[in-house]
Amino acid sequence: MADYTKYTNKEMQAITLAQQITNDNIAIVGTGLPLIGASVAKRLFAPKCNLIVESGLMDCSPIEVPRSVGDLRFMAHCGCQWPNIRFIGFEANEWLHDTDRLIAFIGGAQIDPYGNVNSTCIGDYHAPKTRFTGSGGANAIATFSNTIIMIQHEKRRFMQKIDYVTSPGWIDGPGGRERLGLPGNRGPQAVVTDRGILKFDEKTKRMYLAGYYETSSPEDVIENTGFDIDVSRAVKLDAPAPEVIRMIREEIDPGQAFIQVPKEEPAN
């Protein structure tokens, strides 16, 4: 019999993502862990939230995690199938009417203390060591929507200065967004990693450790962060309920497309 009391850091990461969504939110999601997290939120934590994707599908409620934003499993259980341009119009309309409903999930290769994200290149832009896929819609999303950032917690990713700013965070602190002509009342709300969750100080706009998993610790987070980080407010996060782990493994991602489940050791 499967033991759902044991869980992986990726499952904990997905559940922590889910807990950032409220019933009032319209959540812009992609595939992977954010979609697993959004699916958990829709089923357990925020059943009245609405999930939308950049391909134009609105009010999605997939039974099983899709592999892409154009997957038929997305289309089969959504309220409206718009063309992509209508999604962009909806995003702009939310901003023009100054609503606070949109929350978006983005990722990247590097992040700095103020939540600026690089998903473009490693090294010099004109002669990079590595070139990534780039923004997609992430720059516009990070400009006009509140964001939750998902990234693996490693020193090479959490940097004092990133190589390129693909998606703007709080820029360089209070007033940074306004100085560049960006909306000052939008920005990153949290960073969810495989070690815990980080948030941004209301006054300084600098990242701090808010919570850590039982497999991690404040000292572990400090060791794997490439800049000074405040851990004085950190609390250990509760382990997920076995029923949530069962739901992820058996219903949301049964094919282990995005979360690999460790094989159980045979009983003696």
Which residues have a catalytic role annotated? 54
DSSP letter, residue 73 = H
Q: What distance in Å separates the CA atoms of residue 64 and residue 83, rounded to the nearest whole number?
A: 23
Q: How far apart are CA 98 and CA 165, in angstroms?
A: 25
> How many angstroms from the chain centroid is the CA of residue 137?
14
Question: 127-131 and 121-124: which strand pairing?
Answer: antiparallel
Q: Pull the structure tokens for residue 59.
A: 């009010």
How far apart are alpha carbons 152 and 114 in whole angstroms?
16
List the end-to-end C-alpha distance of the chain, in Å, as a whole number.
Answer: 14
Q: Tell me the HSE value of 115 on the side-chain side, using a 13 A CA sphere.
A: 35
